[in-house]
């Protein structure tokens, strides 16, 4: 995979994860100020964040393996 494509995918994933964190933070603040009801809200949000964290770790692992295998290829001359 070319480096520019790999960097673009990583940048997009980083923006998506940052957006999700921002959304969860806003919901948490609204729950703290009793604007929304927060029964089991925080535990569900932390569980969701753990799932997102695990999924992103797997994605990073896959990209690391794909990048490593492309580095070992012998260039044709």
Residue ranges per domain, the chain? 3-71
Is residue 70's pLDDT more than 80? Answer: no
Is residue 47's pLDDT more than 70? Answer: yes
pLDDT-derived band at 49 (thresholds 50, 70, 90) equals confident
User: What is d(CA 51, CA 57) in angstroms, rounded to the nearest whole number?
Assistant: 10
In the prediction, which pLDDT does 13 show? 80
**Whole-model pTM?**
0.54
């Amino acid at each position: 995979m070319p480096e520019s494509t790999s960097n673009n995918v990583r940048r997009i994933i980083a923006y998506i994860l940052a957006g999700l964190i921002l959304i969860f933070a806003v919901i948490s603040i609204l729950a703290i100020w009793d604007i929304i009801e927060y029964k089991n809200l925080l535990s569900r949000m932390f569980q969701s964040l753990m799932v997102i964290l695990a999924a992103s770790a797997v994605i990073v692992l896959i990209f690391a393996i794909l990048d490593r295998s492309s580095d070992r290829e012998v260039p044709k001359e």
